[in-house]
């Protein structure tokens, strides 16, 4: 585990303003259980925001494609209708198949490569943000991070700073296509999930069982994180905040992983910590804001 499956390199075209050239986005090698939690990851294929077509990625556990759509000024004509009149700062659409059946709860969310160091004011901002998120999503799991020897006794007990949610019940749209049938096309307004199916999915109490035969297509979006400006925006009760206030100059990784020890959806099934030894990763997309932060200095 932890190795990417090589894919043909896509030709590198010149970037347009709507490709957010100041934001570096890459597929990375998925974090490994045998490495130190904060060890750097190997960067792989470039994920171009607002690309004309979905971008393929693959690792030992998952094979799929992604559309990473951002609200930019100007917007590309191909995707502007997806944002027009909608409260969305980003919209990520994914599709693929598991190469190994996940065990336990499958999460999706964001993590940073080290412990977050917050001041008193930023901690209060975090408390407000977490209260908002808990109202919006069931099953939230978060941590500012744990390091040894300050917080835990051994590196195997360390935990990366993260905010993650159960994938099946928290994403905005989710469609499972049985083997042999054609899945939805990425880049469309809707994958065809009905309002009734969405309500049933979000209210489900049983742990969702994934397999290696079906194709999973899902999307999630937010009005609260502006990756282009690298800011937290529009959160009730909070001002606009630069994201480096929360995790300094660290990149953000958009990840999906399973925790085999979590065998149900109730609160008592949730592990207090998500250590690297607990997790198997299916996706790791790294957003590096170094060029954005350099302009602020």
Contacts of 209 (CB under 8 A, 6+ apart): none
Tokens 């303003």 sit on residue: 17
Confidence check: pLDDT of 269 > 50: yes
* pLDDT above 80: residue 101: yes
The average pLDDT across 77-89 equals 95
CA angle (56 as vertex; 21, 230 as ends), nearest 5: 30
Does residue 242 register a pLDDT over 50?
A: yes
Is the pLDDT at 132 greater than 90? The verdict is no
205-210 contacts: CB < 8 A, separation 24 or more? 205/265, 205/266, 206/264, 206/265, 207/104, 207/105, 207/262, 207/263, 207/264, 207/265, 208/106, 208/166, 208/168, 208/169, 210/98, 210/101, 210/102, 210/106
Q: Quick check: bond before 116 cis, omega within 30?
A: no
**Would you say residue 13 has pLDDT above 60?**
no
- What does the pLDDT read at residue 265? 82
Q: List, in sequence order, every residue forming a beta bridge with 67; answer none if it has no partner.
A: 93
pLDDT band for position 98 (50/70/90)? very high
The answer on pLDDT for 240 being more than 70 is yes
CA distance 217 to 80: 21
- Selection from 114, 108, 97 nearest residue 5 by Cα: 97
Q: Which residue has the tokens 């040894």?
A: 148
φ, ψ of residue 81 to 5 degrees: the values are -65, -25
**Residue 242 CA: distances (Å) to CA of 127, 239, 258:** 16, 10, 30
Whole-angstrom distance, CA of residue 233 vs CA of residue 242: 9
Which pLDDT value is given to residue 7? 45
Nearest to 93 by CA among 254, 281, 287, 286: 254
Predicted pLDDT at 10: 43
Q: Is the pLDDT of residue 220 over 50?
A: yes
| Range with lowest mean pLDDT among 102-116, 118-132, 169-183, 184-198 | 118-132
**Residue 41: predicted pLDDT:** 80
Of 34-43, 82-91, 122-131, the least confident: 34-43
């Amino acid at each position: 585990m932890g190795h990417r499956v090589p894919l043909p390199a896509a030709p590198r075209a010149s970037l347009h303003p709507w490709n957010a050239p100041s934001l570096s986005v890459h597929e990375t090698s998925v974090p490994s259980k045998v490495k130190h939690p904060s060890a750097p990851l190997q960067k792989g294929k470039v994920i171009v925001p607002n690309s004309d077509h979905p971008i393929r990625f693959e690792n030992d556990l998952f094979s799929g494609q992604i559309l990473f759509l951002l609200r930019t000024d100007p917007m590309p004509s191909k995707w502007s209708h997806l944002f027009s009149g909608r409260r969305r700062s980003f919209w990520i659409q994914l599709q693929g198949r598991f190469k190994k059946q996940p065990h336990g709860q499958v999460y999706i969310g964001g993590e940073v490569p080290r412990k977050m160091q917050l001041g008193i004011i930023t901690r209060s901002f975090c408390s407000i943000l977490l209260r908002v998120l808990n109202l919006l999503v069931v099953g939230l799991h978060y941590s500012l991070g744990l390091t040894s020897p300050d917080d835990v006794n051994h590196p195997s007990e360390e935990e990366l700073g993260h905010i993650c949610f159960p994938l099946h019940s928290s994403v905005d749209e989710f469609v499972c296509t049985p083997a042999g049938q054609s899945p939805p096309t990425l880049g469309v307004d809707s994958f065809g999930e009905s309002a009734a199916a969405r309500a049933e999915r979000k209210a489900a109490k049983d742990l969702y069982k994934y397999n290696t035969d079906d194709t999973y297509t899902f999307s999630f979006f937010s009005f609260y994180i502006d990756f282009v400006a690298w800011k937290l925006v529009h959160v009730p009760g909070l001002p606009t905040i630069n994201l480096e206030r929360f995790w300094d100059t660290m990149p953000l990784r958009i990840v999906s992983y399973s925790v085999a020890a979590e065998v149900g959806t109730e609160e008592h099934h949730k592990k207090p910590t998500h250590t690297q030894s607990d997790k198997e990763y299916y996706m790791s997309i790294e957003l590096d804001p170094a060029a954005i932060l350099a302009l602020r200095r």
